[in-house]
Structure 1
Amino acid sequence: MTALQKPTPQEEAVVTRAVVRTAEKLDFRQSDLGRLLGLSGASVSRMVHGQYELNIHRPEWDVALALIRVYRSLSSILGGQEDLIRRWMHSPNTDLGGVPSDILRRGAGGLFQVGIYLDSMRGRI
């Protein structure tokens, strides 16, 4: 999408629902998701209940897409097995220098660190 294209309402609704589901699958609490996206707890609560949609023109949009990409990369590496995904998220990773879920909770920098790592691992498959 170019900067001149206007998103359809469906795009914002789809990405909002996808990031909520992604956070649930990665064992993120609403407060974790809010911190990562830069949203208040009330906004995240409204988002979970379908009363708030992410805005494509705000930084929250890019962070949400990056989180979804992290999940999709991890899911493709682990064959979509939810138990393995959760175990990987909560296990120490020497390559990353910590537990992935903790690294993701550090903010956008941690999110992009994990995303780059997963992209490189996916390239080896």
Structure 2
Amino acid sequence: MAALEKPVLKDEVVMTKALVRTAERLDFRQSDLGRMLGLSGASVSRMVHGQYELNNHRPEWDTALTLIRLYRSLSSILGGQEDLIRRWMHTPNTDLGGVPADIIRRGAAGLFTVGLYLDGIRGRI
């Protein structure tokens, strides 16, 4: 009897699903995600419903990867506790000069700023 083969998922499918889950866990709305990625609301809606995949040759890919890395950094710092992760995202941070979620919502520059901050903290642990 032949072993069942698992289907191989494309990188674009995996990244898109990971991004959608990450945005949900961080309490970002579809409009927030669209602003961060530079995508229309319709494209983000299709992405959430599995009808649009991120393109690994466009800037949206790097931005999505950064958001996922940010979440993973924060999760490792806070022991994967979802309630603490959400609280951190929505609490003013004096080092960052604002609420991390608001800084991230401003666009890619804010996302990269918060990501670098978390990388620095994680490096000290």
Aligned to 2:124: 124
- Pairwise mapping of residues 1-125 of structure 1 onto structure 2 (< 5 A)? 10-125=10-125
Size of the aligned set, in residue pairs, is 118
Q: What displacement does 1:10 show? A: 1.1
Equivalent-residue separation in structure 1 for 2:34 and 2:69 (angstroms): 18
Provide the aligned C-alpha RMSD in A: 1.0
Tell me, in whole angstroms, the C-alpha distance in 1 between the residues paired with 2:87 and 2:45. Answer: 26
**Cα distance in structure 1, aligned partners of 2:18 and 2:9:** 14
Q: Cα deviations across residues 21-49 of structure 1 (Å, max 9, x unaligned)?
A: 00000000000000100000000000000
Cα offset, 1:72, TM superposition: 0.3
Unaligned runs of 5+ residues in structure 1 are 1-7
TM-score scaled by length of structure 2: 0.93
The one-letter amino acid of 2:56's match is I
TM-score for the superposition, normalised by structure 1:
0.93
Find the structure with the greater CA-based Rg. Answer: 2
Q: Report runs of 4+ in structure 1 exceeding 4 Å deviation.
A: none
The offset of 1:9, in angstroms, is 6.0
Q: Secondary structure at the match of 2:10?
A: helix
2:82 maps to a residue whose letter is E
Unaligned runs of 5+ in 2: 1-7
Distance in 2, Cα, partners of 1:29 & 1:85: 16
CA distance in 1, matches of 2:108, 2:121: 20
Structure 2 counterpart SS, 1:93: coil
